[in-house]
Amino acid sequence: MRIGILEAGLVHEGLVDVYGDFPAMFRRWLTPHLPAADFRTWSVIRGEWPDGPRDCDAWVHTGSRFGVYDDEPWIAPLKDFIRAAAEAGVPQLGICFGHQLAAEALGGRAEKSPKGWGAGLHRYRIALDGAEREFPMIVSHQDQVTAVPPGAEVLGGSDHCPFGVLEYRDAPVLTAQFHPEFDRAFSAALIRLRAGSSIPERVAAPALASLAAPPANAEAGRWMAGWLKAKLGG
């Protein structure tokens, strides 16, 4: 299985040497559940693009510090890529910005939320196999999906982000607002870096405290990797 990672964001230069870039985080998260996968990266934020959606068996869309509404030269082409891959039936996973961008590309809407920043560990309620399960997951976002695209089902969300997990019924697309690739150390470092500037202290302090509990990254990895394998016929 060849999985293409489309890098839409860059880890802060003060953190990348310790924690790696976003594609490295995704490889660490998914490899235990997809040990035979061959991961390839294109940094779309730097102008790198695959030839087309069939270059890989599946695609992962990463987070980004940008919003889907920003006037960056790579955002509109990435929306086009999402639509092309959906039409071609190539599975796609979207995380955080990738979740929002897929919603925008496929007929929904994402924007800055009046609820403000979500950071630290949030509790997501997700319907899987006919039963609702709770997933404590790391989040880091101001924007969120506010209008669900046609053909998308809301699998779950949190009190802060009700449309937090979407599965599309007319295309093999699964997206989530949370960050299953983030570990607690990276999330804490990121919150400390942003506290008092982009993240208000009143949000940063409880977000840091929430990281005393572990996220359900492995459980989310088993579920999302299982979804990919099912879409690719095992």
Q: What is the number of alpha carbons within 13 Å of residue 63 lying toward its C-beta? A: 24
HEC string of 130-143? CEEEEEEEEEEECE
Between the CA atoms of 6, 7, 8 and 11, what dihedral angle is there, to the nearest 10 degrees? 160
160 is catalytic: no
61 is catalytic: no
Determine which one of 96, 104, 160, 161 is catalytic.
96
CA neighbor of 99 nearest in space, from 45, 50, 141, 151: 141
96 is catalytic: yes
Question: 133, exposed or middle or buried, with CB in 10 Å at 0-12, 13-18, 19+?
Answer: middle
**Eight-class DSSP state of 32:** T
Q: Do the beta carbons of residue 62 and residue 7 sit within 8 Å?
A: yes
Amino acid at 205: A
Q: Do the beta carbons of residue 25 and residue 95 sit within 8 Å?
A: no
Strand bridging mode 152-157 / 165-168: antiparallel
Q: Do the beta carbons of residue 44 and residue 75 sit within 8 Å?
A: no
Determine which one of 122, 141, 160, 179 is catalytic.
179
Q: Give CA–CA dist 189/122, Å, rounded.
A: 17
Determine which one of 7, 104, 167, 181 is catalytic.
181
Q: Which residues are catalytic?
A: 96, 179, 181
